[in-house]
Amino acid sequence: MAEDDTLDPTEFGEADAPPVAEKPYKIIFEANKCIGAGRCAEVSDNWSMDIETGLATPATYFFGEADLEHNVAAAEACPAKKDDGVIHVIDRETGEEIAPDPHGDGTVSVDW
Ligand code: SF4
């Protein structure tokens, strides 16, 4: 956790997380900013639309190399937040955002 009281997005979900060696990547999902466009579900098996809420939901938040590409595709396809996207793929070792990385420098582009 960060030393002050602000929530560090890279720490999100780490308390119950599988070991980094097994699942080196994770999703941070800004569900409250999902606009239900469904692009993520078209490009990634990890994403589906919840019929009740109309919002996207990931099957898993933690994954390995084999599932990186399609989750990155989902993050890049997401049109929410003026195309910046609300699906964030994070490298758990470095804490950097792999995708969509709108700043181009690995900083986590989560607004909360
Ligand atoms: S592509 Fe983005 S806005 Fe559309 S359903 Fe998926 S997460 Fe939500």
Per-residue pLDDT reduced to its tens digit, 49-77: 999 999 999 999 999 999 999 999 999 99
pLDDT value of position 44: 98
Report the atom number in ligand 1 closest to the C-alpha of 35.
3
Dist. CA 4 → ligand 1 center (Å): 31
Which residue is closest in CA terms to ligand 1's atom 1?
Answer: 78
Rounded CA separation 111/91 (Å): 18
Mean pLDDT of 88-99: 97
Tokens of 16: 């119950």
Mean pLDDT of 79-99: 97
Q: Provide the strand spans (E) within 30-77.
A: 47-49, 56-58, 62-63
Dist. CA 85 → ligand 1 center (Å): 8
Confidence at 4, pLDDT banded by 50, 70, 90: low
Dist. CA 66 → ligand 1 center (Å): 22
What is the pTM (predicted TM-score) of this model?
0.91
Which residue is closest in CA terms to ligand 1's atom 2?
Answer: 78
Average pLDDT over the chain, rounded to an integer:
93
More confident of the two residues 7 and 19: 19
Report yes or no: 15 and 7 within 8 Å, Cβ to Cβ.
no
CATH of 9-13+21-99, one of 3.30.70.20, 3.30.200.20, 3.30.360.10, 3.40.30.10: 3.30.70.20
